Amino acid sequence: MPDTQRDASATPQPIRRQDYRPPAFLVDTVELVFDLDPSATTVRARLALRRNRAHGDLAAPLRLDGEGLELLEIALDGVPLPPNRYRIGPDGALCIPNAPGICTLETRVRIAPDRNTELSGLYTSGGNFYTQCEAEGFRRITFFPDRPDVMARYTVTLIADRARWPVLLSNGNPEGSGAAQGGKHWVRWVDPHPKPSYLFALVAGDLVNVHDTFTTRSGRQVSLNIWVRRGDEPRCGHAMESLKRAMRWDEETFGLEYDLDVFNIAAVSDFNMGAMENKGLNIFNTKYVLASPETATDADWQGIETVVSHEYFHNWTGNRVTCRDWFQLSLKEGLTVFRDQEFSADQGSRAVKRIRDVRGLRAAQFPEDAGPMAHPVRPDSYIEIENFYTPTVYQKGAEVVRLIHTRIGAAAFRKGMDLYIARHDNQAVTIEEFVQAMQDASGEDLSAFMGWYSQAGTPEVTAEDAYDPAARRYTLTLRQRTPPTPGQPEKRPLPIPVAMGLLDPAGQALPTRLAGENEARAGTRMLLLDQAERRFVFEDVPAPPVPSLLRGFSAPVRLGGIPRERLRFLAVHDTDPFVRWDSHQQYATALVLDMVAAHRRGEPLGFDPALAEAVTTTLAGADDDPAFAAEVLALPSEGVIADQMEVADPEAIHLAREHLRREIGRRCADTLRAAYEALTDTGPYRIDGRGIGRRALRNACLGYLAAAGEEGVRLAKAQFDAQANMTDVLAALSLLADTDAPAREEALAAFHARWRGDELVLDKWFAIQAMSSRPDTVAAVRALYRHPDFDLRNPNRARALIGAFASGNPARFHDASGEGYRFLADAVIALDPINGATAARLVSPLGLWRRQAPERAALMRRELERILALPCLSRGTFEKVSKALA
Ligand code: ZN
């Protein structure tokens, strides 16, 4: 059938936000019947359709998306449709001209879940069935207007062999089950809430459940179940506890209750992302469900809490109120990330949580915002929507919600949420509607904040100040500038809330009074930098103060140009823990950049003893808050340092940063050793803020000691051998992986032998080697790619090797030979026909060639060109690579 084949040579065209048009038809109800079979599943669909006046053209044909569907039967209002009454287009969509204004369409299609390697739509994993429909996967299951502004009520009947797939799950509440012919059984699920197709889900498998219950504050009992493979039950406890805490928190914080009788989570090891918020049936990557102290690190533990709560919070922000179109993605994702950040902040240390979130934003979002894929939080166009599940839409989107929260305050924000949900329950809306609700509830004009949704790029903020002793007047001038991004050469100033305070020369916080105010205020105050430049005049200032700016990271900007002596001062004296931490980070960054410059001039790197002092001071006061101390001790990553340079120098950055680590390790050896020993827990292993903080701090000490040489490496080996918990084992193993010590091979082999049967732990084994700083890492990664345990088709495994190497190991990825680039391109080329979405994600680091020196940039471009020359690229990879070369 050549006329239904996609023309592979056609250049994919962008979809534009401006072109939005309401759907021609709406769907009131959907009845689906699945007869599940790995190689030939049939899907019967019955859609109650109704013409939508809002579309405008009342003669528009009925168009249903479809992709790779084999149509077996089709009937309109009970009458089989002859082939001349419909058409299946080259994109797979079904088009019926002259459909009545109200009609019922029945189709039956056949699909092959076991050949679905993209993991979008209905697929099999380990012999079981799972779905992933966001963003556009439902069209790979049945013909449907697969867009989020078509919300329908679903009734789903699943039929499958009872012995092989005893558990049959879908959205909503179970409403019947029974036996079917030939050893099969059926289960029916009814979801009372209208939903967009991207929230549809089914799971069929030989699974077992960990069960619990939750009583909502209005007294309804909810049955909670986590569905996993037999044997994984003991690893579900933390996910279940996180879920219950999230449910309670959303009631207490936002008055939002769960709205079905059951909440199911199913875990699957083949999954493109972290998890998916399907109504009443969340589907999770096993990585974000399964944890035990032996197998999961503290970071894994925290990841589970974050993702479980995130998906749960989507029930209201995303599911009950959903997006009009995919350009509005941050409406649900930015808001839901904000909510999960707040939840986690309330579970432990708010300051440490904020520091980690900002670290993540700087590591992933800042470079994106400065690269070829830079896009506004609400993009204007896309070729492949899967490419826009980005740090910008998620993390920067959450920062923008936070800006509004900061601006109007927690109480008004809560009112705004109430209003947003009351107005838009069961609707598909835009970001304007969210901001409008916040504006109406608070009475504040938030129109200028919309600029944060429409303008890409990270604003750069600088400060200049002057003190007039005679007038006791202090003037602070703040300026902003946003560099151009693709498609947006000119930038406008944005409203930037700058949380700040002043310190006197002794380090005491000063009350502040702006010119025109009657009284001085104690504590942090908010300045609004809403022009390219603004001057703030403070009266009654007794001595030249030190300004503390951007407390709590009050806006997602780059604050630069703070003199070093001020950074040192703030790192010690500021009242705001974020500024104290950040001043340390910026100070260390400045030192590394100095060393990079010295190295290029062929001069010795030197060492600033202030840094050793800071380590000693931090350790001396660490017992109050070990997690915070660990964050202070952790140097900025090589990637974050490179992001500070016009033209990066990965080799020199690595050299300088390692030099710094070694010098600290040597000069502070006694203190570090003492701290390491004092932090050795003799009591039971505890996964709480303090336990996690103590392990993080202890491993930070170990890291410096290992950088200094022999003794530290011996300690690391001993820690590895003790096998106390995965956090400590992995910290030790990653240090050993950087060395040439014989202990290295021994430890890696022991780890593999012990964990070869555990997918999630084996991922760590791959990732650690991929991130090794050894010069032979590229070759090692190539060898691991051919290892019998490597499986390109499993996204977790692909990311563990390819992603960890390309994104987590800049020094070796940017090997001057270009071998790192060549490896990434080879892997992307092999993966693209299997799983285009994952290939497109992995290719990103190659796109950042403009930040490298000419020789490297040329090598990177060559690999991008090699990829682009392929005849059948996925739309996603095509978009990434073509934009990188544009
Ligand atoms: Zn989400």
Closest CA to 359 of 632, 592, 661, 727: 632
Under 8 Å between Cβ of 341 and 556: no
- Say if 391 falls within a structural domain: yes
The answer on 540 and 633 residing in a single domain is no
CB of 246 within 8 A of CB of 304?
no
C-alpha dihedral sign at 390, 394, 400, 403: negative
Judge whether 726 lies within some domain.
Answer: no
- Give the distance (Å) from ligand 1 centre to CA of residue 337: 7
Instruction: Give the mean pLDDT of 445-466.
Output: 98
Nearest partner of 170 among 187, 195, 182, 152, judged by Cα: 187
**Which CATH number do you get for residue 189?**
2.60.40.1730
Q: Whole-angstrom Cα distance, residue 696 to residue 320?
A: 39
Give the domain-ending residue among 433, 454, 475. 454
Contact 735, 715 (CB under 8 A): no
Which pLDDT belongs to residue 683? 82
> 290 CA distance to ligand 1 centroid (A)?
19
Whichever domain contains 578, its CATH number is: 1.25.50.10
Is position 308 within any domain? no
**How many Å apart are CA 457 and CA 367, to the nearest integer?**
10
Residue 2 has pLDDT above 90, yes or no: no
Q: What's the CA gap between 228 and 211, in Å, rounded?
A: 11
* pLDDT tens-digit readout, 399-413: 999 999 999 999 999
- For residues 75 and 202, state if they share a domain: yes
- Ligand 1 centre distance from Cα of residue 332 (Å): 7
Mean pLDDT of 185-204: 99
**Coil, helix or strand for 472?**
coil
How far apart CA 653 and CA 638 sit, in angstroms, is: 6
d(CA 774, CA 752): 19
* Distance from the alpha carbon of residue 839 to the mean position of ligand 1, in angstroms: 21
Annotated catalytic sites, by residue? 311
Task: Decide: 503 and 478 in contact? Cβ < 8 Å.
Answer: no
- CA nearest 766: which of 746, 744, 783, 754? 783
Please report whether residue 780 resides in a domain.
yes
d(Cα 162, Cα 184) in Å, to the nearest integer? 5
Within 8 A by CB and 6+ apart from 754, the residues are none
Is residue 703 in a domain? yes
Q: Give the Å distance between the CA of 487 and the centre of ligand 1.
A: 27
303-355, pLDDT tens digit by residue? 999 999 999 999 999 999 999 999 999 999 999 999 999 999 999 999 999 99
Q: Does 785 share its domain with 696? A: no
Expressed in angstroms and rounded, the spacing between residue 279 Cα and the centre of ligand 1 is: 13
Q: pLDDT at residue 6 above 60?
A: no
**How far, in Å, CA of 268 to CA of 167, rounded?**
14
Mean pLDDT of 872-880: 98
Instruction: Give CA–CA dist 119/833, Å, rounded.
Output: 12
- Are residues 151 and 157 in contact, defined by beta-carbon separation less than 8 angstroms? no
Residues 270 and 131 in one domain: yes
Same-domain status, 254 and 337:
no
pLDDT at position 681, please? Answer: 81
- Answer yes or no: pTM beyond 0.75: yes
Query: Which residues lie across from 35 on neighbouring strands?
Result: 42, 159
Do 432 and 511 belong to one domain? Answer: no
CA of residue 719 to ligand 1 center, whole Å: 37
Burial label for 445, CB within 10 Å (0-12, 13-18, 19+), is exposed
Lowest mean pLDDT among 82-96, 471-485, 521-535, 678-692: 678-692
Structure tokens at 768: 């650690």
Q: Any residues with CB less than 8 A from the CB of 147 and at least 6 apart, and which?
A: 23, 65, 196, 197, 325
Helix (H, G, I), strand (E, B) or coil at 84: helix
Q: Which residues pair with 558 in a beta bridge?
A: 460
Report how far ligand 1's centroid is from the alpha carbon of 47 (Å).
28
Same domain, yes or no: 541 and 634: no
User: Ligand 1 centroid vs 611 CA: distance in angstroms?
Assistant: 39
Q: From the CB of residue 431, how many other CB atoms can be counted at a distance below 10 Å?
A: 23
Residue 682 CA to ligand 1 centre (angstroms): 39
What distance in angstroms lies between residue 336's CA and the mean position of ligand 1's atoms?
Answer: 6
Helices (H), 723-809: 726-737, 742-755, 759-770, 777-785, 795-798, 804-808
Say if residues 280 and 172 touch (Cβ distance below 8 Å): yes
> Based on the domain organization, do 89 and 231 belong to the same domain?
yes
Q: Report CA(389)–ligand 1 centroid distance (Å).
A: 9
Instruction: Sort 689 into a burial class: Cβ within 10 Å, 0-12 / 13-18 / 19+.
Output: middle
Look at residue 653 and tell me if it is in a domain.
yes
CATH of the domain at 429: 1.10.390.10
Rounded to whole angstroms, the Cα distance separating 283 from 285 reads 7
Q: What is the pLDDT of residues 205-254, one digit of tens each?
A: 999 999 999 999 999 999 999 999 999 999 999 999 999 999 999 999 99
How far away, in angstroms, is 82 Cα from ligand 1 center? Answer: 42
Collect contacts of 440-445 with beta carbons under 8 A, ≥24 apart.
440/416, 441/408, 441/412, 441/413, 441/415, 441/416, 442/408, 442/409, 442/412, 442/413, 442/415, 442/416, 443/412, 444/407, 444/408, 444/412
pLDDT of residue 864: 98
Q: Do 208 and 249 belong to one domain? A: yes
Half-sphere exposure of 489 (CA within 13 A, CB side): 0
H/E element, 655: helix 650-667
Mean of the pLDDT values across residues 811-834?
98
Count other C-beta atoms under 10 Å from residue 451's C-beta.
17
Residue 8 in this model has a pLDDT that exceeds 70: no
Q: How far is the CA of 351 from the centre of ligand 1 (A)?
A: 23
- The CA-atom distances, in angstroms, between 272 and each of 317, 337, 342, 729, 790 are 22, 19, 26, 27, 17
Confidence band (pLDDT; 50, 70, 90) for 684? Answer: confident
CA 235 to chain CA centroid, Å, is: 23
**Secondary element (H or E) of residue 830:** helix 819-831
314 contacts: CB under 8 Å, gap ≥ 6: 277, 332, 336
- Is residue 34 one of the residues assigned to a domain? yes
Q: How far apart are CA 388 and CA 392, in angstroms?
A: 8
Q: Of 708, 742, 772, which residue is a domain's last?
A: 708
As for how many domains the chain has, the answer is: 5
* Token pair listed for 507: 């380090």
Taking only the tens place, the pLDDT of each residue in 109-168 is 999 999 999 999 999 999 999 999 999 999 999 999 999 999 999 999 999 999 999 999
Q: Are 328 and 261 in contact (CB under 8 A)?
A: no
- 9 — pLDDT class (breaks 50, 70, 90): low
Distance CA(220)–CA(199), nearest Å, equals: 24
The residue type found at 233 is E
Residue 545 and residue 508: Cα distance in Å, rounded?
A: 10
Q: How far is the CA of 738 from the centre of ligand 1 (A)?
A: 35
* Cα(262) to centroid(ligand 1), Å: 20
CA of 319 to the centre of ligand 1 (A): 10
Are 250 and 243 in contact, with CB atoms under 8 Å apart? no
Per the omega criterion (within 30 degrees of 0), is the bond before 135 cis? yes
d(CA 828, CA 785): 12
Which residues share a beta bridge with 480? 461
Report, as an integer, the average pLDDT of 187-208.
98
pLDDT at residue 3 greater than cutoff 50? no
CA of 311 to the centre of ligand 1 (A): 6
Domain edge (last residue) among 535, 555, 575: 555
- Tell whether 487 and 377 lie within a shared domain: no
Task: State the first-to-last Cα distance of the chain, in angstroms, to the nearest integer.
Answer: 35
Residue 469 has pLDDT above 70, yes or no: yes
CA count, 13 A, side-chain hemisphere, 622:
30
> What is the CATH number for 477?
2.60.40.1840
The backbone region for 340, taken as left when phi is positive above 0, alpha when psi lies in -120 to 50, beta otherwise, is: alpha
Pairing of strands 473-481, 533-538: antiparallel
**Structural domain that includes position 833:** 756-886
> Closest Cα partner for 368 from 398, 389, 399, 344?
389
Quickly list DSSP for 252-308: HHH-----SSEEEEEEESS-SSSEE--TTEEEEEGGGT---TTT--HHHHHHHHHHH
Asked whether residue 768 is assigned to any structural domain, the reply reads yes
Q: Return the amino acid letter for 120.
A: S
Pairing assessment for the beta strands 173-180 and 184-196 based on DSSP bridges:
antiparallel
Residues 550 and 565 placed together within one structural domain of the fold: no
Tell how far the Cα of 340 is from the centroid of ligand 1, in angstroms: 10
Output the CA 515–ligand 1 centroid distance in Å: 44
Alpha-carbon distance of 295 to 746, in angstroms, equals 19
Q: Output the CA 276–ligand 1 centroid distance in Å.
A: 7
Report strand pairing: 208-215 vs 221-228.
antiparallel
The mean predicted confidence, pLDDT, of the chain is 97
282, 344: one domain: no
Percent of the chain whose pLDDT exceeds 70: 99
